[in-house]
Structure 1
Amino acid sequence: MPVPQHALQDTSAGSSVVLAAAAHGAVDFITARGGDPERVAAVAGLDLRRLETPTDPIDLHGYCGLFEEAARQTKEDNFGLWYGQQFEPHMLGLIGFIALASPTLGEAVKNLAHYFPLHQSGTRTRLFAHDGLLHLEYQIVDGRIAHRRQDAELTMGMFTNVFRHCLGRGWAPEEVHLEHAAPQAPDAHEHAFHAPVFFGRGSNRLVFRDDQLDRPMPGADPQLLSLLRASLTRVAQTTQLAFKDRLTGEIRAHLAIGDVKFADIAAALKMSQSALLRHLEDENIGFARLVEQVRREQARAYLAQRHIAVSEIALLLGYSEISAFSRAFKRWEGVSPNQYRATAQTQAL
């Protein structure tokens, strides 16, 4: 099957949003795990009443925060993983029904990649081939949303269940990639996906073979598919991310895969290097300073997770040597990473 390359679809300047169907059953799921949905939603800045209408847009930052806070309050580190594993395609609303109504599994995956940014703005999804395998890639590109581990894991579970709806519960991808650092209990992820899971990658993706993509979807309905596509296009929020937020998002995405190179960021933004330089000058943004700011914020977040070794944090932030990271961190905070972590732990007691 031909594999399209789908570019970022930003959805008027303002906050990124996701249709409320993406939180289907979240209140019950939080409750079942001993959490208080009202308290969780209050910390995340969400009004639970907004979750009642599947086609209502809700703030994406708040949506991601809902699951991060649910993981914290319930003390279930893999909250997003398990929420995504039980999330069937029909629960996802219009984008889920588009996949279900597609004629074949291959078309369902192509439609998922193509239309998902209408379901959720500030997001990039792509379907592409590499080294004889297909990759279904998902990434939030809104640079304001830094804490999104739970969202990444639940979304990969949602995507996996599109395949399993057609091929059975035993289907497994070849690999799963996640952009965040490995959690304390990574074995649970391989158990959930029945596949090797790699952390600290440049994006979130399912990697799979193309040998079953011609299988018919059980609920294929061409007429319904056409109506669903039109409906999603009609309700989609067309918000355009501010330049700095898009730029920050691309910098964050490139950190874990090595040095953040100006040319690579320009290419990711679909700009020439001269055009990117003009944008930076027009908005008085220093590129190197912004890269350092993102690294500093990420370093603090990683150091708060005590199971992540300082040497791993250095790699996740694009440093080839731990000594270079330690020098940079001491310049930012006045103390070494280990001293910062020890002080934070003492203050938390």
Structure 2
Amino acid sequence: MAAAANGLGDFIAQTGGQPEVVFERIGVDPACLGDKRTALDLADYVAMMEEAARATRHDNFGLWFGQRYRPEMLGLIGEIALAAPTLGSAIEHLAQWFPWHQQATETRLARRGEFLRLEYRILDGSIVDRRQDAELTMGMFANVFRACLGPHWAPEAVLFEHARPAAWREHETAFDAEARWSQGTNALVFRDRGLSRPMPTGDLSRLQSLTSDLAAVAGSCGAPSFVDRLRGEIRRRLATGEVGIDEVAETLAIPSWTLQRRLAGHGATFSDLIEQTRRELARHYMAQVHLPLGDVAFLLGYSEPSAFSRAFTRWYGTSPRAWRRATAD
């Protein structure tokens, strides 16, 4: 929903950018931003956040925009969290309804041992550059906790699916917690404490009305195409080195032979998708000049930097080192 960009123009201006230039480059009508009942294409929204970071030369743009993003700015999904009777209920409703607010995403509340995790990730593998959105969303989620437990609440840790950025210590300052990088999903990690605390503006009848409104406005959770969803699952697993067709098929709840048959209908194979995903991500990681080539190879699922170098040369006709030198000039 366009409400996710509420206040974006002001923050771009405050950080030295020109909002109208950012919106024009992405092709977004600024008049719709902040409207809680207007839809905004997910790819356009994510691209807008990345362009804002470039235009302001503020690499941690999404991080700090998210820290100031209060739940009431979020439109219907923020109002739903604030209207829940307790913090635990607010987090459960956030996990359930956030994909209606931001379609083609996955949000889950999961337990890992003694900790809970509020997880978020974009399912569409065609959206490659999405770091700013992830950092913004983690800030949004943290501020739901703070609306109940006070401004100094901090998670035990915060997880990001993207690689560690250059100014990564700012993330630990912003969340007052350890930041972990190149994870399978983005998440706030927290203890099972304070979840029974009443939300200050809890209103059960209003909560029921708001969830009905969001369902009516959004229509559904949305979904990327079959191929783009597969690319998203491949991306999630690359750094683990476990990109097997059986594991991906199990995640999608279909037999592996069905996955292969459906891919054949698109004129592709599973290995084709792995190659395509690696190639797209290679340019993305190579542009982050603070990342050593060995780290890039690892993030793409290569056991040896030499294997990555050979693949990159095949894709782009030049070695990774030469590519970086040329793009830096």
Q: TM-score, normalised by structure 1?
A: 0.91
Please list, as runs of the form range in 1=range in 2, the aligned pairs for 1:195-234 lying within 5 A after superposition: 195-234=177-216
Find the counterpart in structure 2 of residue 33 from structure 1: 15
1:81 partnered with 2:66: no
What is the alpha-carbon distance in structure 2 between the residues aligned to residue 128 and residue 20 of structure 1?
27
Which residue does 1:259 correspond to in 2? 242
SS of corresponding position for 2:240: coil
Give the letter for the 1:304 counterpart. Answer: A
Q: 1:113-192, aligned counterparts within 5 Å?
A: 113-192=95-174
Name the structure 2 match of 1:330: 313
How many residue pairs get aligned? The number is 328
Are 1:278 and 2:261 matched, yes or no?
A: yes
The amino acid of 1:78's aligned partner reads N
State the shift of 1:52 in Å. Answer: 4.8
| Cross-structure match for 2:275 | 292
What CA deviation, in whole Å up to 9, does each residue of 1:25-75 have, x standing for no partner?
001111111111111012222111221522100111111111111111111
Give the drift of 1:226: 0.5
**CA–CA distance in structure 2, aligned partners of residues 29 and 115 of structure 1:** 26
For residues 244-298 of structure 1, the C-alpha deviation after alignment (integer angstroms, 9 at most, x for no partner) is: 1111121122222323111121122221212212211222211101111110111
Distance in 2, matches of 1:58 and 1:344, equals: 33
Provide the rounded CA distance (Å) in 2 between the counterparts of 1:304 and 1:81.
20
Which stretch shifts more, 266-275 or 78-87?
266-275
Is the CA contact (8 Å cut-off) linking 1:121 and 1:237 kept in structure 2? no
1:62 aligns to 2:44 (yes or no): yes
- Conserved in 1, the CA contact under 8 Å of 2:80 and 2:93? yes
TM score, norm. by length of structure 2: 0.97
Task: Assess if the C-alpha contact under 8 Å between 1:180 and 1:201 holds in 2.
Answer: yes
Match of 1:103 among 85, 91, 94: 85
What amino acid sits opposite 2:321 in the alignment?
N
CA distance change for structure 1 residues 165 and 264 in 2, over 3 Å: closer, same or farther? same
Q: Are the counterparts in 2 of residues 201 and 257 from structure 1 also a CA contact under 8 Å?
A: no
State how far apart, in whole Å, the 2-side matches of 1:334 and 1:53 are.
46
SS across alignment from 1:215: coil
- Aligned equivalents of 1:205 and 1:52: distance in 2? 25
Q: Which amino acid aligns with 1:185?
A: A
CA distance in 2, matches of 1:206, 1:87: 16
Between stretches 270-279 and 87-96, larger displacement belongs to 270-279
What runs of 5+ residues in structure 2 fail to find an aligned partner? none
Range 242-251 or range 153-162, more displaced? 242-251
Letter in 2 for 1:158: M
Query: 1:14-33 alignment to 2 at 5 Å?
Result: 19-33=1-15
Q: 2:35 maps to what in 1?
A: 53
SS at match of 1:306: coil
Report the Cα offset of residue 146 of structure 1: 0.9
Give, as a single letter, the amino acid of the residue that structure 1 aligns with 2:282: A
Q: Which of these residues, 229, 233, 246, is aligned with residue 229 of structure 2? A: 246
Shift in Å at residue 335 of structure 1? 2.2
Question: CA separation in 1, counterparts of 2:77 and 2:199?
Answer: 15
* Identity, % of aligned positions: 52
Tell me how far 1:194 sits from its aligned partner.
0.3
Supply the AA of the counterpart residue of 1:216: P
Contact 1:88 1:158 in 2 (8 A): yes
Q: Deviations over 1:160-184 (max 9, x none)?
A: 0000111111111111000111111
| Equivalent pair of 1:326/1:337 in contact (CA under 8 Å) | yes
Paired with 1:283 and 1:305, the residues of 2 have a C-alpha distance of 32
User: Is the CA contact 2:7–2:34 (under 8 Å) kept in the aligned structure 1?
Assistant: no
Give the distance between the partners of 2:34 and 2:84, measured in 1 at CA: 26
